[in-house]
Structure 1
Amino acid sequence: MKNRTIKAVCAAAAITGLAVMPLTTVMAEEVRVPVMSQAERGAQENLPRTGMSQSSVRNGWGDPVQISGPVGNPPISQWHYADFVVYFEGDRVIHSVLKPGR
């Protein structure tokens, strides 16, 4: 009789999933990303655009304070201005970013 009771309890647990289904706690992390202020957005609009040539950047913003590179393949170079940095792949702008605190 004892054997039959154990089998019945195991069968009931298996049917309800309690024997094989562990309880799980799900946790999530909240990530906050700051939204650009209007001043930062306005300054970002005045940066060289993707696809511009080096000569167009030089004509529009003058000579950079410092040039780094080119490095790697494809060749990536950086033109540093007082308030921003322009990244080039070959002769074309791939990204422009404001320096922190500007």
Structure 2
Amino acid sequence: MIVLLAVAGAWSPTAHADNLLVNRVQQEQGMDLPARGMSMDQVEKKYGAPQRKLSPRGGDTAKHPVINRWDYSNFIVYFEKSHVVHAVLNTPAGNNTNPASVN
């Protein structure tokens, strides 16, 4: 019975999602993505102009700093104020495909 449960757990949607996340992280590590701390000017100089710059969000309190998002064809860059805090592959997961629909 324990073996059956272990096998069933290996094929669960959660296990599949974990594998996808691991694969995504490994792929990101092999790419030349903007590094944490780079300024907006440095990112634009190295990677060119983004395809789209979304409207800034947040900034209403010190606990909610202004967050900017720039979309490139292969990756997305998130800035806190004017410095990179994270860069991720642009995949059709989550809200990466249509951020305008998110309030």
Of the three residues 65, 75, 79, the one matched with 1:88 is: 79
Query: Matched residue of 1:85: which SS?
Result: strand
The aligned amino acid for 1:57 is V
- The residue aligned with 1:36 is 23
In terms of fraction of residues, the more strand-rich structure is: 1
SS of the equivalent of 1:82 reads coil
Question: TM-score, normalised to structure 2's length?
Answer: 0.60
Give the 5 Å matches for 1:14-29: none
Q: Please, what is the CA RMSD of the aligned residues? A: 2.6
Unaligned runs of at least 5 residues, structure 2 = 1-8, 60-64, 93-103
Whole-angstrom distance in 2 between the partners of 1:50 and 1:38 = 15
Aligned residues: 72
Distance 1:54 1:37, change over 3 A: closer
Q: What TM-score, normalized to structure 1?
A: 0.61
Match of residue 47 from structure 2: 61
Higher helix share: 2
Equivalent residue of 2:56, what SS?
strand
Residue 35 (structure 2) aligns with: 49
Structure 1 residue runs of 4 or more that deviate by more than 3 Å after TM superposition: none
